[in-house]
Amino acid sequence: MHERAPAFTGSDGQAYSVGTFVDEAPDPQGRYGAALLFVRWSDAGDRPVGHVETDYLSWGATPAAALAPLLTLTLEAVKRHLDGCIERQGQA
């Protein structure tokens, strides 16, 4: 609608936008992996200051096939993935 990525407030209180990531080449089994990439923004919202990303959430024989399941995720599911990434990052 607005031609920008969905934005979320993470469980850490920081602002994030989300995009998708798909491997450029297949793995040894011939599969492409797809994941979510969350960019963390400065308090002013004018520049990125970090990121977190999920593990691969789906696989496919082509990049499009790997990406398709991610594009069907609800915003609530994406937010759960963001908060899970933040939690894991805090445990590292």
Quick check: is 1 in a domain? no
Q: What is the DSSP letter of 32?
A: E
Domain count, the chain: 1
**How many residues in total does the chain contain?**
92
Quick check: is 58 in a domain? yes
Quick check: is 53 in a domain? yes
pLDDT of amino acid 1: 45
pLDDT band of 5, cuts 50, 70, 90 = low
The CA–CA distances, whole Å, from 12 to 2, 15, 43 equal 25, 9, 12
Reading phi first (left if > 0) and then psi (alpha if -120 to 50, else beta), residue 13 is in left
The CA–CA distances, whole Å, from 71 to 27, 32, 36, 54, 91 equal 21, 15, 10, 14, 28
Coil, helix or strand at residue 44: coil
Q: What is the pLDDT of residues 23-73, one digit of tens each?
A: 999 999 999 999 999 999 998 888 899 999 999 999 999 999 999 999 999
Quick check: is 21 in a domain? yes
pLDDT of amino acid 59: 97
Host domain of residue 80 = 7-91
pLDDT of amino acid 2: 45
pLDDT of amino acid 89: 86
pLDDT of amino acid 90: 78
Quick check: is 23 in a domain? yes
pLDDT of amino acid 38: 96
